[in-house]
Amino acid sequence: MALIVDKEHLGCSEGSWLNSGHFATLPPLGPLRARRIVVVAPHPDDEVFGAGGVIQRALVQRIPLALVAVTDGEASHPESKAAVKFGLAEKRHRESIEALRRLGWNDPAITRIHLPDSDVRGHQEQLREKLATSLRPDDLCVAPWRFDGHPDHDVCGQTAYESCRATGAALLHYFVWTWHWADPNGSDIPWDLCRRFDVTRRERARKRWATGAFETQVRAIGPERADAGILPEALLRRFWRAFEIYVDETEAIL
Ligand SMILES: [Zn+2]
């Protein structure tokens, strides 16, 4: 399945998701309990899009946080000659730091693995080793769903799943691309494992503010005016909801 995102390919509308009736009936996630929360981000921005609410709540609860930045996201503008000149990888890393600061996470603990964007699968062992040596039984790992639909997301989710099984850490999966391709009325999403994490008005506002920090993803970069690589607002709205949805696979793991 190829993910195409542009003004002609906006995926499932946010209205369709909200009207699907699924969200209101989901059980709440419950309070966060962990020695530490380890967020796995395939690309700089996934941590905020997928888990910006949980990150903020962890900060309030003074639960230590760590971010594993799997790639630098250097392939987000494959057609753009400006991307390399622009220093896209470092720029995206700085955007992530700024976005996390907007969530209240100053001086975030980020472990960068620098795996090649779009080829995490070819370097999965490095990710596996990093997670296996880092995760502990009383940690909570927050990673993309293993069927999120982007190859890097799927591998990160699967590796997190296996690493949590091996170490005994708890696991929550977040969605990013699933909202784009899945059918609200179909069986793409494992609703029986989904939990709803309500965010406060303040958390929601800060999360929206934080998504604006990813300038290379929401505006044209360099001198090029093309739309390529830009995430439309219709897509970003999925991450501005009053709640986040997580797949809780902890029971299946432990
Ligand atoms: Zn991503």
Whether the pTM exceeds 0.85: the reply is yes
Partners of residue 65 on adjacent β-strands = 37
Distance CA 202, CA 242 (A): 10
Distance in Å, CA 184 to ligand 1 centroid: 21
Instruction: Return the pLDDT at 254.
Output: 64
C-alpha distances in angstroms, 184 versus 11, 82, 122, 155? 11, 37, 32, 24
CA distance 128 to 124: 6
Digit-by-digit pLDDT tens for the chain (254 residues) are 567 777 777 888 999 999 999 999 999 998 999 999 999 999 999 999 999 999 999 999 999 999 999 999 988 877 666 666 578 889 999 999 999 999 999 999 999 999 999 999 999 999 999 999 999 999 999 999 999 999 999 999 999 999 999 999 999 999 999 999 999 999 999 999 999 999 999 999 999 999 999 998 888 776 655 555 578 888 999 999 999 999 998 777 76
Residue 60 C-alpha to ligand 1 middle, in angstroms? 26
Distance of CA 42 from the midpoint of ligand 1 (Å):
5
* Among candidate residues 122, 174, 176, 120, the one with its CA nearest the CA of residue 5: 176
Residue 59 Cα to ligand 1 midpoint, Å, equals 23
Amino acid 1: pLDDT: 58
Q: How far is the CA of 230 from the centre of ligand 1 (A)?
A: 13
Q: Which two tokens stand for residue 157?
A: 């989710």
CA of 144 to the centre of ligand 1 (A): 9
Q: What is the pLDDT of residue 250?
A: 79
Q: Tell me the two tokens of residue 249.
A: 């696979």
- Give the tokens for residue 216: 């290379």
Distance from the CA of 114 to the center of ligand 1, in angstroms?
14
Ligand 1 centre from 149 Cα, in Å?
Answer: 10
| Domains (range + CATH), the chain | 14-253 (3.40.50.10320)
Report CA(70)–ligand 1 centroid distance (Å). 10
CA of 85 to the centre of ligand 1 (A): 22
Rounded to whole angstroms, the Cα distance separating 234 from 228 reads 15
